[in-house]
Amino acid sequence: MRIAILNKDRCQPRRCSHECEKYCPRVRTGDETIVFGEDGKAIISEELCVGCGICVNKCPFDAIMIIGLPEALTEPTHRYGPNGFALYGLPTPQVGRVTGILGPNGIGKSTSVQILSGALVPNFGGENGDWEKVLEHYSGTAMHDYFKDVIDGKIKVSQKPQYVDMIPKAFNGKTIDLLEGTDERGALDDLIERLDLAPIIDRNIGDLSGGELQRVAIAACAARDADFYFFDEISPYLDIYQRINSSQIIQELSAEKAVLVVEHDLAILDMLSDVVQVAYGVPAGYGVVTHPKGVRVAINQYLKGYLPEENVRIRPDAITFEVHPPRVESDIATLVDYNAFSKKYGETFSLETDSGSLKEGEVIGIVGPNGIGKSTFVKILAGEIEPDEGELDIDVSISYKPQYIKGDNPMQVQMFLRSITRRFDTSYYQAEVIKPLNLEPLFEKMLSELSGGELQRVAIAACLSRDADLYILDEPSAHLDVEQRSLATKAIKRFAENNGKTAMVVDHDIYMIDMLSERLIVFEGKPAVYGKAHPPSSMQDGMNKFLSDLDITFRRDEDTSRPRVNKPGSRLDREQKAQGEYYYRLDE
């Protein structure tokens, strides 16, 4: 079975010669395999299409996808009309459990939530949805009872949006005003205390940082009195402590409610979820939601790229982790030595740093809580701001990707990247930057039209495109799904190794830091008061220092070697703390 997907935003029949119709073999034999509708857009008959792929290759705007589906997929749960996105299966909300959804962006998670909330009626591939048909379809299952409650108006949904930076555009006022409008359970005071929102409740929403907006969004969602809670990515802009703290709040919600969480930080998803449903398919083409699986099993299968129960390979290569921290070779040349320096912001915050050195061709991870001075540190290295004390004699060129990215440039993605580098058309640049970051489908888009994840990938490419000796990337994982994080990690690391360039990466995703870094710079201190940057150290020493401050231990999964958070007070947690090994156990 196959489906044909037409991206109507890309299809521009007035600017092409109807190549899809002209070169279609079935059209040439007299069949109406491709016709043009009243809006001028192409309509592809999936019954007549033979799957040759000629229209896909001939379309000048890459608007067509012909996708071969697994044989087990017959009737979609919902489809957005002819040649539209198709969703197969649904997440299963369960009272008393946190159900995690693991899958790439654009795979149907938002569609699933619309259906589960009752805002969208599943049409099973037909023209219109019908609740009677829905109840008949799910007769004898738990979903029947759930949808019956939806129809009767007994299900109330509370949803945390994915892109929290859009909140200031929807609400103009003080933080406390927004939160008080959501306090339906009388839990607001407790949420403000646990999420450390007291210092910002009298500030305007438009003045909040990304991490502050994320915590406000979590509090607003959790404060409502709902039957079904949906949290779409809780980790962006939050440090590890804040992520774990938010996870505990969500777990408490699930004691009497149904909770669904989409999360791309696998360490947090692993700790937070009771069951996980994998979502796979082709982004913007079709999505499939599997039945619930055990958390460890689901994540390991996803990393390996093969789902045994479904007999489906969702990725050609596995995402792998190094068992031991990389060794730092003593004969590697030093790129730059930097002196100790300090920076103060009035009487509110001060940053002090030790001196250190950066090696050629290495990737250095930078870790620490939010509000501890990491972004200030890299901005000083990049020359964006000046230190108050200490002279930096850094005689190297630097390319810098900031933490918060603005998409207000009125340029197409392709023209934007061409304006940065002369190597755009070289095979090396295409293979090492464009392809790993999957940027080609974005070429015709304007920067102002990009989603958060798309803009992040373009910003990473822009940083790597500039001619420099040192590349600094601040939170490159934000809004990227697991696949994109893995590809971005490989692109950054391969770029540094192949070109002998040095990269510094600030991030809170332990998986990304683990796959990427050879050494670590650890920040300690008191958030929003003072911070201290230690010199670069080995992965083992650095992670032990960092995690001991957070009182968190990690272990390695026996099957995939991925890091996993130990439950506080568990046997492994106690043993590793007694050994002083918070990240790498002595027997690994």
CATH (one of 1.10.10.10, 3.40.190.10, 3.40.710.10, 3.40.50.300) for 82-313: 3.40.50.300
Distance, CA of 112 to CA of 432 (rounded, Å): 35
Class of the domain covering 338-538: alpha beta
Phi-psi region of 173 (alpha: psi -120 to 50; beta: other; left: phi over 0): left
- CA-wise closest residue to 485 among 511, 466, 447: 511
Find the DSSP H helices in 7-64. Answer: 19-22, 25-28, 54-58
**What is the architecture, at CATH level 2, of domain 2-68?**
2-Layer Sandwich (3.30)
What is the residue-wise DSSP string for 33-44?
SEEE-TTS-EEE
CA-to-CA dists, residue 430 to 56, 425, 439, 491, angstroms = 21, 7, 10, 11
**Whether the domain at 82-313 and the domain at 338-538 fall into the same CATH topology:** yes
Query: What does each of the 588 residues of the chain score in pLDDT, given as a tens digit?
Result: 788 999 988 899 999 999 999 999 999 999 999 999 988 999 999 999 998 999 999 999 889 999 888 777 878 999 998 899 999 999 988 899 999 999 988 888 888 988 998 889 999 988 888 999 999 999 988 899 999 999 998 889 899 988 887 888 888 889 999 999 999 999 999 999 999 899 889 999 988 888 889 999 999 999 999 999 999 889 888 888 889 899 999 999 999 899 999 998 888 999 899 999 999 999 889 999 999 999 999 999 999 999 999 888 988 888 887 665 554 555 678 888 888 999 998 778 899 999 988 888 889 999 988 888 888 888 888 888 888 888 777 788 899 998 777 777 788 999 999 999 988 889 888 988 999 898 988 888 889 888 888 899 999 999 999 999 999 998 898 888 888 888 899 899 989 988 889 999 999 888 888 888 889 999 998 887 899 999 999 888 888 888 888 888 888 888 888 888 888 888 988 989 998 888 865 444
Instruction: State which amino acid sits at residue 17.
Output: S
Q: What is the pLDDT of residue 206?
A: 87
Beta strand 530-533 pairing with 519-526: antiparallel
Question: Which sequence spans correspond to the domains of the chain?
Answer: 2-68, 82-313, 338-538, 551-587
Distance, CA of 188 to CA of 176 (rounded, Å): 10
Burial label for 176, CB within 10 Å (0-12, 13-18, 19+), is middle
Q: What is the pLDDT of residue 588?
A: 47
3-state secondary structure 502-555: EEEEECCCHHHHHHHCCEEEEEEEECCCEEEECCCEEHHHHHHHHHHHHCCCEE
What is the residue-wise DSSP string for 187-256?
-HHHHHHHTT-GGGTTSBGGG--HHHHHHHHHHHHHHS--SEEEEE-S-TT--HHHHHHHHHHHHHHTTT
Instruction: State which amino acid sits at residue 116.
Output: L
Distance, CA of 183 to CA of 499 (rounded, Å): 54
CB 215 within 8 A of CB 246: yes
Whole-model pTM: value is 0.83
Beta bridge partners of 44: 34
Residue 586: count of CB within 10 angstroms of its CB: 9
Q: How many residues are recorded in the chain?
A: 588
